[in-house]
Structure 1
Amino acid sequence: MTEKNVAPYLRIAGEIRRRIEEGELAPGDRVPSTRKIAEEWHVALATATKALNVLRQEGTVLAPPRVGTVVAPAQGSGGRAARSPRAAAAPDHELTRERIVRAAVEIADAEGLAALSMRGVAARLGAAAMSPYRYVKSKDELILLMADSVFAGIGLPAEPPACRRTRLEAGARALWVLHRAHPWLAQLGPLTRPLALPGLLAYSEWMLAGLDGLGYDGATMMNANALLYSHVQGLAVHLEGEAQAESATGLSQDQWLATQEDRFEAIVASGRLPTFTRVMESFGVEGYDLDLDELFEIGLRALLDSWTGPRP
């Protein structure tokens, strides 16, 4: 089979293997992440994930928790990593549902939800490809378990603030921090199909208790809770979107904006958008910097002002 007929993920795996064998990457060194592979080889994240899975399954690389994917320790006189899938695989009795969920969260945090697969989780744990199905029925079930796991760790204050507005602020900010740490949460599903997850319902209980006593009926309280959640989710979806765009194009946000300068300048020069032009010119040479954290705070303040009144 000629090189051009080899599947892209196998070519990528072969190149990384060559770097390891020739000493460019030593045992313990981190290998490129799926996002870096996607950028370097101009492939989709799914292709990059398959390449790393090949290397994991053959024992060339390992994926220790919270470390990333690294070159496996050298074995034998040839100095090459072990390549036997059976030697690399962990016994099934060492797997647990908790370990599977934790590994899946680590993959989604580092590579995005699109890169997650049951086979990839097995490879990360050094287990046989079908082993996770003994503990989790499907990828969809795994994603729900992942979501409940991270929602259970949301950083709400141990003692609820007496001030209702302060309580609502604390809840919304904790949810924003959670989405920043796990951007894939914003991809779970539409607001119109809420998930019956204990961790998520406990968060809603916190927020509804903050709204309780303000004189609103049940529908208004539920709407307010949904709007605050949607405010966070609606901004957080751009965290994952930006990461995916950077992987697909190989350009950072600033680099991509630089490629659009001529188009924006032409629109401004046309004179058809006088208000837009005046606003953009008011920023001077530094330009406008869209900051998601700032947008979150502006939106949160506006929403809470409408329900609790402006903060003194």
Structure 2
Amino acid sequence: MERGAPYQRIAAEIRDRITSGRLRPGDRIPSTRQISRDWGVAMATASKVIAALRDEGRVETRPGAGTVVRSADRAFTRALPREHDVGRDQIVRAAIAIADAEGMPAVSMRRVATDLGVATMSLYRHVSSKDDLILHMADAVVADEPLPARPPAHWRACLEFAPRLLWTTCRRHPWLAEVMISVTRPRPAPNLMLYSEWVLTALRRLGLGPDDMMYIHLNLFGHVRGLALALQTEARDRQDTGMTNNEWMDTQLAAFQQIVATGRYPTMEYVVTQDFEQDLDVMFEFGLRLLLDGVEQRLARATPASAPG
């Protein structure tokens, strides 16, 4: 290990905070993104800082909490390389745990190998690249929330169920929205394809043509993904600032009110003085209803003599 390397100096600063008691057991240490920003280093260097502290047994990664100071009474043993024990599922699950706790920027082949206690190059026997690993991560978390074998009988129930299930998965894994398969350049992922199959089958039963089927499907998918990107941003910002979205908005309210009070924004002035709480779950349901109401209206115009079923 190179003496005086940037990651060593940063690790020493954080180590001093731990030993002095400024960071206590269970407290979150700076994330890789915070380290990169506050010390002006690359993400790779920031990842080495956390890996070094973890190797010393001073910190541990907890899903949903980030990397925290390890309690003194928690035993720690450094895993020795055991490449023959590690398979693709273990690699994918280790990467998911890192992404859940620290966000996707913390995921690297080196970091996953460190957490598993194996050589980095051994991972490439099971995943060809980081992009390949990310695709398997996305597909795995979607598989954890499977669609039922028997879909609801009514088309609208089908098109409500699938997006809600995907939204729930994004809620549990905020990084998913960023890495979810592109609508313009898709890659084969079996479990994400099952989601598409479910939605398209419900639309095909209505007698819609391929264009209508695909445009409705992609708009529903885009609605989930678009709002889920806000989930990811909120999770990252909350980790960095320690404030919820509503708490942060409270710090900005005076500035907004000062701007709208100029008289140039009468409707905005009206809105910011009302009691409105921005809730992404409510926004998701509201948008889903709008989209499906539009589909229902389109079906009614196409078949005025009978209700869609």
Give the TM-score taking structure 1 as reference length: 0.80
State the distance in 2 between where 1:292 and 1:64 align.
Answer: 25
Q: How high is the sequence identity, in percent, across the aligned residues?
A: 45
1:264 and 2:262 are equivalent in the alignment: no
Which structure is richer in relative contact order (CA contacts within 8 A, separation 6 or more)? 1
State the distance in 2 between where 1:269 and 1:63 align.
Answer: 46
| Alpha-carbon offset, residue 72 of structure 1 | 8.5
User: What amino acid is aligned across from residue 136 of structure 1 in structure 2?
Assistant: V
* 1:147 equivalent in structure 2: 138
Q: How big is each residue's C-alpha offset from its partner over 1:48-78, in whole Å with a ceiling of 9 and x where there is no partner?
A: 5332211234555555889975649889xxx
| Alpha-carbon offset, residue 17 of structure 1 | 3.9
Moved more, 217-226 or 179-188: 179-188
Instruction: Confirm or deny: 8 A CA contact 1:25 1:31 kept in the other structure.
Output: yes
| Alpha-carbon offset, residue 274 of structure 1 | 1.4
Please list every run of 5 or more consecutive structure 2 residues that lacks an aligned counterpart in the other structure: 301-306
Change (3 A) 1:81 1:202: closer
Instruction: Confirm or deny: 8 A CA contact 1:45 1:247 kept in the other structure.
Output: no
Map of 1:34-73 to 2, 5 A cutoff?
Answer: 35=31, 38=34, 42=38, 46=43, 48-58=46-56, 60-61=58-59, 71=70
Please list every run of 5 or more consecutive structure 1 residues that lacks an aligned counterpart in the other structure: none
Instruction: Confirm or deny: 8 A CA contact 2:167 2:224 kept in the other structure.
Output: yes
| Alpha-carbon offset, residue 89 of structure 1 | 2.3
* 1:204 equivalent in structure 2: 196
State the distance in 2 between where 1:259 and 1:23 align.
Answer: 30
Instruction: Confirm or deny: 8 A CA contact 2:61 2:101 kept in the other structure.
Output: no
| Alpha-carbon offset, residue 135 of structure 1 | 2.1
1:278 and 2:270 are equivalent in the alignment: yes
State the distance in 2 between where 1:68 and 1:273 align.
Answer: 41
| Alpha-carbon offset, residue 156 of structure 1 | 2.1
| Alpha-carbon offset, residue 11 of structure 1 | 3.7
State the distance in 2 between where 1:168 and 1:297 align.
Answer: 12
Map of 1:58-97 to 2, 5 A cutoff?
Answer: 58=56, 60-61=58-59, 71=70, 88-97=79-88
Instruction: Confirm or deny: 8 A CA contact 2:166 2:224 kept in the other structure.
Output: yes
1:32 and 2:24 are equivalent in the alignment: no
1:121 and 2:117 are equivalent in the alignment: no
1:164 and 2:155 are equivalent in the alignment: yes
Instruction: Confirm or deny: 8 A CA contact 2:63 2:101 kept in the other structure.
Output: no
User: What amino acid is aligned across from residue 266 of structure 1 in structure 2?
Assistant: Q
* 1:306 equivalent in structure 2: 294
* 2:8 equivalent in structure 1: 10
User: Secondary structure in 2 aligned to 1:233?
Assistant: helix
Moved more, 219-228 or 63-72: 63-72
Map of 1:187-198 to 2, 5 A cutoff?
Answer: 187-188=178-179, 190-198=182-190
User: Secondary structure in 2 aligned to 1:260?
Assistant: helix
State the distance in 1 between where 2:257 and 2:176 align.
Answer: 36
User: Secondary structure in 2 aligned to 1:130?
Assistant: helix
1:225 and 2:217 are equivalent in the alignment: yes
State the distance in 1 between where 2:23 and 2:229 align.
Answer: 35
* 1:186 equivalent in structure 2: 177
State the distance in 1 between where 2:204 and 2:140 align.
Answer: 27
* 2:303 equivalent in structure 1: none
* 1:294 equivalent in structure 2: 282
| Alpha-carbon offset, residue 146 of structure 1 | 0.8
Instruction: Confirm or deny: 8 A CA contact 1:59 1:72 kept in the other structure.
Output: no
Instruction: Confirm or deny: 8 A CA contact 1:204 1:225 kept in the other structure.
Output: yes
